[in-house]
Amino acid sequence: MKPLVSAIITTFQGEKWIRATVESALAQTHSPLEVIVCDDGSTDTTPQLLRSFGSRITVVSQPNAGVSLARNAAVAASRGELLAFLDHDDLWEPNKIAAQVERYSVDPSVGLLFADSWIIDGTGRRHGRRSRFHAPSEGAIYEALALRNFVPVESLMVPRPVFDAVGGFDPAWKYLEDHDLCLRIAARWRAVYVDAPLASYRIHAHNLSHRRAPMLREWAALLERTIQGPPPVTPEIRTRLSAERGRRLGDAAWHALRDLDSAASQEILAQGRTLIPWRLRARIRVFGAMLRCLPPGLRPALVGLLPRHRYYGITAESGRADGT
């Protein structure tokens, strides 16, 4: 008998995308499947849109508490042997669950399953696969995953006993809660990768990941935790993690300046004074001096002259690829 899979969807102010997201879950070829949606305190039309699906989905509502607690609440309301996660602006291909269940049936001892994803913009146009930016790995992936986050959460599937054993999502992480979960799983279990784009990850102007400075600071903190262990990492990996932490801190200081938060930038520079590469540190100091020389009213204009940040090749500000 095929295992029951729980589609775990979380949403907050998701009226623009949630219908298509839920429909992509309901369109799965695998059966049995249940769709659990946690509405994390939406005040737009999201609750009405969710009610329109009737008994085809189960809706859990809570005051706004963040994505980690929302996912944990949806999991608590679910019954599936396997848990598959999807955010309110992303999509699944119809065979997503079936392809992963097929791999799971071969080796049910694995701790997590994931696949490639399409990168799409706000209009739904495809811009290639995620794997061209972050080469995936499978098997014992802990050290590789510590160095780069190559597990798309919209493709993630976790057996329920594994999810329970690691304690679910940790709300202490605001931006990298999925990466933290996968690291804790990968420290104890093997991973399985399906080399096909089974989901779509949407880039648009309101993606949480576009708040670059705080996200990069959190990434540096997660790298520091990994360096300290447990589990222990090899000296070579520890050196590489330290270098990566320095780059993340430097990038965080740079983006804090782009947000015109010089105090945060200086704080980050002090935190990473022995880790941030000197070229990056010099660029930050020069840009900071340029900002200080300008009247406050002209500083946004200088920032506006900088190249726009691109996320998976798509500009965060517009949710479209450059040149489109």
Longest distance between any two alpha carbons in the chain, whole Å: 70
- Nearest CA to 25 out of 92, 79, 72, 75 is that of 92
Tokens of 36: 């659990």
Query: CA distances (Å), 96 to each of 159, 171, 308, in order?
Result: 16, 27, 33
What pLDDT sits at residue 320?
A: 43
pLDDT in tens, 247-258: 999 999 999 999
Q: Name the band, by pLDDT with cuts 50, 70 and 90, for residue 187.
A: very high
Domains of the chain: 5-202 (3.90.550.10), 209-321 (no CATH)
Q: Could you give the percent of the chain with pLDDT greater than 90?
A: 89
Mean pLDDT calculated for residue range 261-280: 95
pLDDT in tens, 32-49: 999 999 999 999 999 999
Q: Name the band, by pLDDT with cuts 50, 70 and 90, for residue 210.
A: low
CB 179, CB 151: distance < 8 Å = yes
Quickly count: other Cβ atoms within 10 Å of residue 27's Cβ.
13
**Residue 96 clears pLDDT 90, i.e. is over it:** yes
Distance, in Å, from the CA atom of 11 to the CA atom of 27, rounded to the nearest integer, reads 19
- Nearest CA to 93 out of 208, 177, 194 is that of 194
pTM, whole model, 2 decimals?
Answer: 0.92
Mean pLDDT calculated for residue range 51-61: 98
**Residue 237 clears pLDDT 90, i.e. is over it:** yes
Lowest mean pLDDT among 16-20, 94-98, 313-317: 313-317
Tell me the residue length of the chain: 324
3-state secondary structure the chain: CCCCEEEEEEECCCCCCHHHHHHHHHCCCCCCEEEEEEECCCCCCHHHHHHCCHHHCEEEECCCCCHHHHHHHHHHCCCCCEEEEEECCCEECCCHHHHHHHHHHHCCCCCEEEEEEEEECCCCCEEEEHHHCCCCCCECCHHHHHHCCCCCHHHCEEEHHHHHHHCCCCCCCCCCHHHHHHHHHHCCCCEEEEEEEEEEEECCCCCHHHCHHHHHHHHHHHHHHHHHCCCCCCHHHHHHHHHHHHHHHHHHHHHHHHCCCHHHHHHHHHHCCCCCCHHHHHHHHHHHHHHHHCCHHHHHHHHHCCCCCEECCEECCCCEECCC
CB 175, CB 98: distance < 8 Å = no
